[in-house]
Structure 1
Amino acid sequence: MTEPLDRRLHAFRPDLADERLSGRVEALRFVSGEPATIAVSVADLRPAPDLARGIDTQLLFGEAVRVFERRDGWAWVQAEQDGYVGYLPESALQGPVTPTHWISAPRTFVYPEAELRKVPLMALSMGSRVTVTGEAETRGTRYFTLVSGGAVIAAHCLPVETVVAEDYTRIAARFLETPYLWGGRSGFGIDCSGLVQLALMMAGHAAPRDSDMLAAFGAPLLPEEARHGDLVFWKGHVGILEDDGMLLHANGHSMTVAREPLTDAIARIGWLYGQPTGFRRPV
């Protein structure tokens, strides 16, 4: 029996579907979609075209998507980065752009010109992609000027796909005290699996988005085999094991990205969600 397709990772509805799913699903019409790019700081991706619906995940400025439908101010898209499917406001999109750099700081600002005293045009999260057209310097601070307008601190950027650090746990630790946000995937708010995925991405490793997807990612381990950089799973939750038995995770208890001893986390989480369901080595 063919395994049912995951609506989070496959674009299909009774009336419309991704043409790559032809023969696998039934739909009145199949389309190839058109390329586009995220044009806002952070775009919330929802399971339906309704602002009252919860956020499944978020897409960052400059990330590429494929648009299957535009209707009533909404766009039905699939993220090129991890294949996630959902709805976002059509106003969050712009045409295709080829990025040259991505943001390597947890958060930064785009200024209207190469002057940090100016009111910023927008804020960007780590992982956002920008297209640099030139450079400027003001009072010793170097800026990149952007094709989208404005300027960003050059030290907060790296050439696109250049790793921030080889050890993704070091990247994740830079988000300590970032607020917890269900469905969040940015330096402004992040959830447990968003932290893992974003940190891995910035270390050069593609990873799935949600904790149940991550639970099948990488290699399984016995608890006694787990070491620095391995993932610890509970039902609906994931954290990153650091040296000395510390767990780094975005969690709804502290409502931040925090670290705590793994033994304490197991005892605290256990009364509600039970014991860890698995350990995996992602890289």
Structure 2
Amino acid sequence: MNALPDRRLHAYRPDLAEEALRGSVPAGHYVAGTPARLSAPVASLRPRPDEAAGIDTQVLFGEGLRVLDRADGWAWVKSDFDGYVGYLPETALDATVTPATHIVAVPRTFAYTGPDLRTPMAFALSIGSRLTVVSESETRGTRYFTLEGGQSVVAGHCLPVGGTAGDDYVAIAGRFLETPYLWGGRSGFGLDCSALVQLSMMMTGRSAPRDSDMQAAGLGTPIEREELRRGDLVFWKGHVAIMEDEATIIHANGHTMSVAREPLAAAIERTGYLYQQPTGYRRPV
């Protein structure tokens, strides 16, 4: 019997499945889903419609989704960004989908109620948030973008959609140092090990799967430990770290509960009793 598809990336339940799975998995009926985007600054995606359920990943402001079902205040969705499937509060969605023009390019920033840093903050935004800019202005030498909702963001904290923050994703990962660790987190407010890789690569125009096992299975090419250099990845069971140089890693980890820098040898020794030796090393292409 063939194994069922990975539920993290394929939407199916006994009563309902995404149209792409018709003929592959049994379900009561199949839907293509309706487009939406996230209107909350960040929303946690959960494996079931229950606030007590753990966080699998997160969706960022302005990111697109396909809504497969709505019930009891929850929406069952699939992310346009990385294909992740899960449940989030229906109130976090906006059915009006307009193309994003810009993306937040710094770990964290604010949306203000007006184009002036002295106006009240409307909400905070994470790196990777997608914005629709309708106008721009300048106040005391600082340029601001006005969003379709009327809020303003510092223009210098944004890039046009399709732009990049350079080609060195390790340097971007370093900007997250001391950001709190959050299991399932995927934002500048808190993130886990694989999200650090995914978000940092995203800002250089590269794509990466969401979870560490997905990254270990197919991100780049396998290498040996003695070949490690800046930008390579080290994998343990359930964990990934980025090589800052031949001997030092940057990783979001539960030991410091933050994004931290430490020698690879020390990390291997420290985690050996819990995670054993690294399971592999890969060089992203």
Q: Which bin holds the TM-score, normalised by the shorter protein?
A: over 0.9
Query: Is contact 2:228–2:246 with CA below 8 Å preserved after alignment?
Result: no
- 2:242 maps to amino acid: I
Shift of 1:190: 0.5
Q: How does 1:1-283 map to 2 (within 5 A)?
A: 2-95=2-95, 96-216=97-217, 217-283=219-285
Matched residue count:
283
Query: Is contact 1:161–1:202 with CA below 8 Å preserved after alignment?
Result: no
Stretches of 4+ moved more than 2 A in 1? 1-4
- 1:20 maps to amino acid: A
Query: Is contact 2:193–2:241 with CA below 8 Å preserved after alignment?
Result: yes
Aligned partners of 2:220, 2:4: CA distance in 1, in Å?
Answer: 22
- 1:101 maps to amino acid: H
Shift of 1:271: 1.6
Query: Is contact 1:107–1:125 with CA below 8 Å preserved after alignment?
Result: yes
Percent of residue pairs identical: 63
Shift of 1:97: 2.2
Query: Is contact 2:70–2:76 with CA below 8 Å preserved after alignment?
Result: yes
- 2:100 maps to amino acid: P
| TM-score between both structures, scaled by the size of structure 2 | 0.98
Aligned partners of 2:162, 2:124: CA distance in 1, in Å?
Answer: 20
Shift of 1:243: 1.4
Shift of 1:244: 4.3
- 2:116 maps to amino acid: E
Aligned partners of 1:177, 1:99: CA distance in 2, in Å?
Answer: 29
Aligned partners of 2:206, 2:281: CA distance in 1, in Å?
Answer: 18
Task: Please list every run of 5 or more consecutive structure 1 residues that lacks an aligned counterpart in the other structure.
Answer: none
Query: Is contact 1:62–1:97 with CA below 8 Å preserved after alignment?
Result: no
Aligned partners of 1:142, 1:190: CA distance in 2, in Å?
Answer: 29
Residue deviations 1:27-77, cap 9 Å, x none? Answer: 111000001001011010000000000100000001001000011110000
Q: What's the secondary structure of 2:149's corresponding residue?
A: coil
Residue deviations 1:170-201, cap 9 Å, x none? Answer: 11110000000000000000100010011111
- 1:77 maps to amino acid: V
- 2:168 maps to amino acid: D
| TM-score between both structures, scaled by the size of structure 1 | 0.98
Shift of 1:156: 0.1
Shift of 1:94: 0.4
Query: Is contact 1:38–1:60 with CA below 8 Å preserved after alignment?
Result: yes
Shift of 1:3: 3.6
Residue deviations 1:79-118, cap 9 Å, x none? Answer: 0111000000000100212100000011000001101111
Q: What's the secondary structure of 2:23's corresponding residue?
A: coil
Query: Is contact 2:33–2:68 with CA below 8 Å preserved after alignment?
Result: yes
- 2:276 maps to amino acid: G
Aligned partners of 1:87, 1:256: CA distance in 2, in Å?
Answer: 26
- 2:49 maps to amino acid: P
Query: Is contact 2:41–2:61 with CA below 8 Å preserved after alignment?
Result: yes
Task: Please list every run of 5 or more consecutive structure 2 residues that lacks an aligned counterpart in the other structure.
Answer: none
Aligned partners of 2:68, 2:185: CA distance in 1, in Å?
Answer: 23
